[in-house]
Structure 1
């Protein structure tokens, strides 16, 4: 997916973010299966006497996996650091505010007080729901950032190895 699409307004919707994660994961898994099949065939054909090109390809397999995993971990850690911690803190804070509002509603002594506390509880619940949605979006973005280098390597390998076959 192009960078302009991932910054479009539809990607503020957690459902769309998770759908994008699902599609990218599906594409990565299909590409990975293709790469595994082609490399396994190459290993089998090379047998006990692999060529220099075979040895280079086999070494590349390990290097690519390590590089993609490292890049993926760093991207997820960066995204986690920039968004998730603040949102979790806000969600916890809003949960506590909601719990206090509920307790105030339960202990109301008259109708006017109950209506005021009910409004406060409703506002707290709405803020909590909005934060939960933001938390889901932030989680999807973390997964997207982590998947991106692995997806990129798997799909580029599938194209490269298919062209060689």
Structure 2
């Protein structure tokens, strides 16, 4: 039987997100080192007159970097737009809740009502701290989306070039 926590998966736990990001980064770095080693050897071996096959590979190197950087920038921009929207919504909601609680406290008709409304104001002021924890994984998800196209190309190249 699947629990609710299991179905939320990676996005439910910022620590898991950062750990996964570290693993993906390490995997990308190893793959990149393999690809750089292969291509450097190939460039050195080609010398001043690379074959047609070498020229295609060398051209592909530049194209891949431009495409990965473009996809990465697009992913970052899209994610930041979503984060900004969420931040604005949260900030507005909390600002109005705080202002309402302060107004309610200021217009308390009795001492007993004042104590109750102070507690409500305290809850309204404490809510942003709890709301901020919801954004704890946003940076990790942003980093994942930025890394994904670069990781995909590096690992694909390591597989492709490692078989030759």
After TM superposition, the score normalised by the length of structure 2 is: 0.77
Counterpart in the other structure of 2:140: 140
Name the CA distance, whole Å, in 1 between partners of 2:27 and 2:162: 15
Aligned-pair CA distance for 1:84 = 0.6
Aligned-pair CA distance for 1:162 = 0.8
Q: Kindly indicate whether the alpha-carbon contact (under 8 Å) linking 2:21 and 2:143 is maintained by their aligned counterparts in 1.
A: yes
Q: Kindly indicate whether the alpha-carbon contact (under 8 Å) linking 1:14 and 1:134 is maintained by their aligned counterparts in 2.
A: no
Name the CA distance, whole Å, in 2 between partners of 1:160 and 1:86: 40
| 1:125 aligned onto 2:130 | no
From the superposition, tell whether residues 160 and 8 of structure 1 become closer, same or farther in structure 2 (CA, over 3 Å): farther
The runs of 4+ residues in structure 1 deviating greater than 4 Å are: 94-104, 107-112
Task: Specify the structure having the higher radius of gyration (Cα).
Answer: 2
Name the CA distance, whole Å, in 1 between partners of 2:44 and 2:7: 46
State the secondary structure of the residue aligned to 1:30.
Answer: helix
Post-superposition CA distance 1:126-164 (Å, at most 9, x none): 3x2333122222232222112111110000001111111
Counterpart in the other structure of 1:31: 31
Counterpart in the other structure of 1:89: 88
Name the CA distance, whole Å, in 2 between partners of 1:41 and 1:111: 81
Counterpart in the other structure of 2:17: 17
The aligned runs of 1:23-62 (5 Å cut-off) are 23-62=23-62
Name the CA distance, whole Å, in 2 between partners of 1:136 and 1:89: 16
After TM superposition, the score normalised by the length of structure 1 is: 0.76
CA RMSD of aligned residues (A): 2.9
Name the CA distance, whole Å, in 2 between partners of 1:48 and 1:25: 35
Counterpart in the other structure of 2:117: 116
Q: Kindly indicate whether the alpha-carbon contact (under 8 Å) linking 1:98 and 1:121 is maintained by their aligned counterparts in 2.
A: no
Unaligned 5+ segments in structure 1 are: 1-6
Post-superposition CA distance 1:71-115 (Å, at most 9, x none): 11112222222x2112221343366468769988xx999686355
From the superposition, tell whether residues 101 and 35 of structure 1 become closer, same or farther in structure 2 (CA, over 3 Å): farther
Aligned residues: 156
